[in-house]
Structure 1
Amino acid sequence: MKVTTRKAALGGLAMFGAAALLAGCAQAPEDNGGDGGGEALDYLPCMVSDAGGFDDKSFNQLGFEGLVKAADELGVEYNEVESAAETDYASNLTNLVDQGCNTIVTVGFLLAPAALESAEANPDLEYISIDDTVDTDFDGTTDAPNIKPIIFDTAQAAFLAGYLSAGTSQTGVVGTFGGINIPTVAIFMDGFAQGVEYYNEENGTAVKVLGWDRANQDGSFTGGFEANDTARQIAQGLIDQNVDVLLPVGGPIYQSAAAAIRDSGREIALLGVDADVYETDPSVGDLLLTSIRKGIDVGTYNAIIEAGNGEFDPTPFVGTLENEGVSLAPFHDWEDRVPAELADKLTELQDAIVAGDIVVESYLAE
């Protein structure tokens, strides 16, 4: 377990896009106690990672970047606690409570039970839950009034990635695998499969999806979120079945997939998730067709800015294509290999999803 307290500084963190990326979240005020002067805020925002750690080049890193940017703008210090295993979650949250944190951000679906227990025990503190609604009784509402969920209907963006993958595949076989079969992982895989199915329906093709069975809502999973030999073997098994587009969903497991792709000696496109992996990990940039992005960094930033200025709002935020909370990253090095008509079609499909003319199924869909 690693715990640090520091004055926020952007340093080498990736720069943010427009602060308005997540429509519906409050914008940063012009005078918020930052470097522009005024009385310093008596406010301590904190964050606990899941077992992937803050250097996962994915959703933990994005959440951390949002924390750092918000703390820097507010002119306050922040605390971070990095979990090495799931067994650390409850004790890490207790650690942050004991250190006087005002707002605690929990990163990841698996942290939700510990977050709820901590929130119920500390009703005067504010909690921000990334990737889970913290609805353990499944009644459609968050279980504690002091928790703000930041969640993402990534099936919508994954649908576009599936359509794109089917349109660029030369073998007619694409594949996906995940870390653990939990909703925030499966939603990518299911949206991806729906996009491939739609491509087949529109074009009279039969592109296959390996690694995910929509009917049974199950597929290929590593059992964790580590870049290890298990992840590499699963990726290799899909490659051996002739896939030429591969979507690994689960933080660092994409690194194992990239290693398997390089070992194959074939041209196989890699899809990133959460962040634009081309930017967070340039070492795999040449393999990336695109990434399915979630605006975790900006969502975290906006929620902490609100809380730091006494405007904490527990209303859940759901990122969609319409509010740009989810999106596809640029094609980067693959730009010349994506036909213009296919790129134009993706824009058309996005517009149709936003308009409700195409319904992408997911547990977050209305």
Structure 2
Amino acid sequence: MVTDTGGIDDRSFNASAWAGLQAAKEAQSSVDPKYVASTAEADYEPNLRQFVTQKCNFILSVGGLMGGATEKVAKENTSQQFGIVDSSIAGATNVFPMQFATEQAAFLAGYLAAGYSKSGKVATYGGLKIPPVTVFMDGFADGVAYFNKQKSKNVAVLGWDKAKQNGTFAENFGDQNKGKSITNTFVAQGADVVMPVAGGTGLGTADVAKASGGKVSVIWVDQDGCKSAEQYCDVFLTTVVKNITDAVEKAVADGASGKTLGSTPGYLGTLENEGVSLAPYNQFDSKVDAGLKSEVDKLKADIIAGTVKVESANAPK
């Protein structure tokens, strides 16, 4: 596995993917997982090539930013099996894509945030302006808009304008101080629920929430924050979960058992197949109104049934 620049300890998507490899090893002793962490985008290609040289059976790229490097290396090594999280590569029949309809779960998070907010202002920001990030922000903004429509309210979203595809970005996935700075600005503007889609950068948001004495809460992403960043569990309202772990585990297990994964149709995680979800409310369970909980549950069922449409131009194609 080659990580994105967020590193293996991002408490987010790199960590989720590594957990999938570890789970595959537990399930099949023949699986021997290893990883290399990328510190810059220039590392992607040489990191992938070193695993080709080592004749690894399955080489996993974690993150949409790695699409270009993965395409190049995979097309030069067609007998090698690759996988990629948060991207798909046209014409590369040896790259298995694992993508997620995160707009669906983020829609639920937006509705929840709007219903939970006391100030009438919620916020989101991204690590980089790329589709696997902005798809969360689209869903979140639409969930707030849906709440406003259903309740005749006017909860505002700071940090993202879906129509204009314009908003706030940290420009990285590993700078907690930047996360703090962005969050402090949102809080000064009145936001009391913040969803960072920024890997380790988002831990800065959790720090601000910790210091607020309960006035600010956080919606985490990728891995249930109460499992991946336990020390912040008391500020995590919920998490928009991408079940990268199970998707990776199954792909690795299939590969290890000799199945040819190919490139299509790949894997798409949805609310229906539990590839995306909202995590439990954990320490907020008693703080979230029972009526709001049941509305979120009903909304999930309506999205699965197709009676509520969730759409994003940034969703996996």
Q: Deviations over 1:116-149 (max 9, x none)?
A: 1110010001111111112xxxxxxx33000110
Partner of 2:103: 155
Return closer, same or farther for 1:228/1:288 CA change in 2, 3 Å cut-off. closer
SS of match in other structure, 1:81: coil
Partner of 1:23: none
CA drift of 1:312 comes to 2.6
After TM superposition, list the pairs within 5 Å mapping 1:338-349 onto structure 2. Answer: 338-349=288-299
Letter in 2 for 1:67: L
| Alignment of 1:69 onto 2:23 | yes
Partner of 2:9: 55
After TM superposition, list the pairs within 5 Å mapping 1:136-147 onto structure 2. Answer: 142-147=90-95
Q: How big is the alpha-carbon RMSD for the aligned residues of Structure 1 and Structure 2?
A: 1.2
CA drift of 1:265 comes to 4.2
Calculate the TM-score normalised by the size of structure 2. Answer: 0.96
| Alignment of 1:319 onto 2:269 | yes
CA drift of 1:232 comes to 1.5
| Alignment of 1:335 onto 2:285 | yes
Letter in 2 for 1:364: A
Partner of 2:33: 78
SS of match in other structure, 1:48: coil
Which is greater in Rg? Answer: 1
CA drift of 1:230 comes to 2.1
Q: Is there any run of 5+ residues in structure 2 with no aligned partner, and where?
A: none
Partner of 1:257: 205
Q: Is the 8 A contact 1:79 1:96 kept in 2?
A: no
Partner of 1:282: 230
Return closer, same or farther for 1:365/1:98 CA change in 2, 3 Å cut-off. closer
Q: Percent identity?
A: 39
Letter in 2 for 1:334: F
Structure with greater helix share of residues: 2
| Alignment of 1:111 onto 2:66 | yes
Q: Is there any run of 5+ residues in structure 1 with no aligned partner, and where?
A: 1-46, 135-141
SS of match in other structure, 2:36: strand
Calculate the TM-score normalised by the size of structure 1. Answer: 0.83
SS of match in other structure, 1:322: coil
CA distance in 1, matches of 2:227, 2:24: 21
| Alignment of 1:211 onto 2:159 | yes
**Bigger CA drift: 250-259 or 282-291?**
250-259
CA distance in 2, matches of 1:74, 1:266: 44
Q: Is the 8 A contact 2:239 2:278 kept in 1?
A: yes
CA distance in 1, matches of 2:277, 2:16: 15
Alignment partner for residue 133 of structure 1, among 88, 107, 114? 88
CA drift of 1:215 comes to 1.2
SS of match in other structure, 1:238: helix
CA drift of 1:87 comes to 1.2
Alignment partner for residue 190 of structure 2, among 235, 239, 242? 242
